[in-house]
Amino acid sequence: MSPHRFVQNFSRRRALIVTNDTRACETLISTSRKLGLDVQRCEAAAADILLLLQSLDPAQDILFIDGDLNCFQELFASPGFALPPAPVIGMVGVEAPSRLRALMQVGATAFLSKPVHTSAVFSALYLSVNEFEQKATLRRSVEELERRRRARRHVIKAVALVMKSHALDDEGAFTLLRKESMRARMSLESYCEYVAQRSAAHHRRDAVSEDLPLAADRSY
């Protein structure tokens, strides 16, 4: 597994700004341009924000959204609302817990206090983009682990099959399956699933195979 590399240059990305605060918007526009981003100011009504969230491009877009907007309850209640698939920076004016919560609910991974200070923008971008990437990596990793957990029953079945067919103890059967899964360039769980399914198919044809799993189809 390659080590995590942080994003440090935000040029050629797009900053989408949702705020009614003209001063904050002006500062953000000028600073973002210095950092090489394209900037676009977006409408601040709930319906427009919903459409915007749904159209975000995770590889390119960064959303700046103002916590002082009064449309969050309407937004969260809208059918089709989901966490945006791109980094979000929450702009904080009133530091009330309800507003901070709304920004977290809309996916903010960094905060930027208002009035916006130019020297805070790069830090907020760095934090939001890298935190978003780390969360995405973590989410993918959890999904993969969940998939493997669900496949655990196949491992148990395959170990039992190989113990029987090759007269091995559980350690020996597991070692053999792990070695074969690596040779087949598959995860252990996927390989065991294949072994278990193949064995079941053989049983269905009443033909018990003796040469069990070890010549796996590499193209599988």
Interface with another protein, residue 7, by CB under 8 A:
yes
Q: How far is the CB of 26 from another protein (least distance, A)?
A: 11
CA-based nearest residue to 30, from 151, 119, 94? 119
Give the one residue of 10, 72, 111, 194 binding another protein; rule: CB under 8 A: 10
Task: Return the DSSP state at 48.
Answer: H
Interface with another protein, residue 118, by CB under 8 A:
yes
CA-based nearest residue to 192, from 141, 140, 148, 143? 148
Q: Map residues 156-195 to x or -, x wherever contact with another protein holds by CB under 8 A.
A: ----------------------xx--x-------------
Amino acid at 174: F
Residues in region 15-34 near another protein by CB under 8 A:
31, 33-34
Q: How far is the CB of 65 from another protein (least distance, A)?
A: 23
Q: State the Cα–Cα distance between residues 154 and 70, nearest whole angstrom.
A: 51
Q: How far is the CB of 18 from another protein (least distance, A)?
A: 23
Q: State the Cα–Cα distance between residues 130 and 135, nearest whole angstrom.
A: 8
Query: Which residues, in sequence order, are bridge partners of residue 113?
Result: 92
C-alpha distances out from residue 89 to 95, 103, 197, Å = 15, 8, 48
Interface with another protein, residue 9, by CB under 8 A:
yes
| Beta strands 38-41 and 61-66, pairing class | unpaired
Nearer to another protein (CB atom), residue 182 or residue 200 = 182
- Contacts with another protein by CB under 8 A lie at 1-3, 5-11, 31, 33-36, 118-119, 122, 178-179, 182
